[in-house]
Amino acid sequence: MQWADIRKSYPDRWLVIEALAAHSTPDHLRQLDEIAVIKECHDGTDAFNSYRRLHQQFPDREFYFVHTGRAVLDIHEQRWLGIRRNYAAHTKG
């Protein structure tokens, strides 16, 4: 589905969505070309918690939590610098 279709089908709702097809623009925005609705949520907290559980279960998939009141999905990519704590080697000292 496209974002415009999702907004019509789920007016004024919090959702967890998955990007099935997406690409990055030169100005570091994420364009979602094909979207699937994973879960409809009661509020933003429920949407965030559902997103977090799904992201922990399936870290290689691209999930977002969004509200359909947004006319445009404005997703900025964040560049990670350094090593993430989960992947850092720990030494005994």
User: Nearest 5°: phi and psi at 68?
Assistant: -75, 0
* Residue 21 belongs to some domain of the structure: yes
* Residue 48 belongs to some domain of the structure: yes
Helix then strand then coil, in percent of the chain rounded to 5, is 25, 35, 40
pTM, two decimals, is: 0.81
Q: What is the pLDDT of residues 11-52, one digit of tens each?
A: 999 999 999 999 999 999 999 999 999 999 999 999 999 999
pLDDT at 89: 54
Structural domain count, the chain: 1
What is the domain extent for residue 45?
Answer: 3-79
Q: Is the pLDDT of residue 63 over 80?
A: yes
pLDDT at 67: 97
* Residue 38 belongs to some domain of the structure: yes
* Residue 87 belongs to some domain of the structure: no
* Residue 90 belongs to some domain of the structure: no
Mean pLDDT of 5-15: 97
Question: Using an 8 Å Cβ cutoff, are 44 and 67 in contact?
Answer: yes
* Residue 8 belongs to some domain of the structure: yes
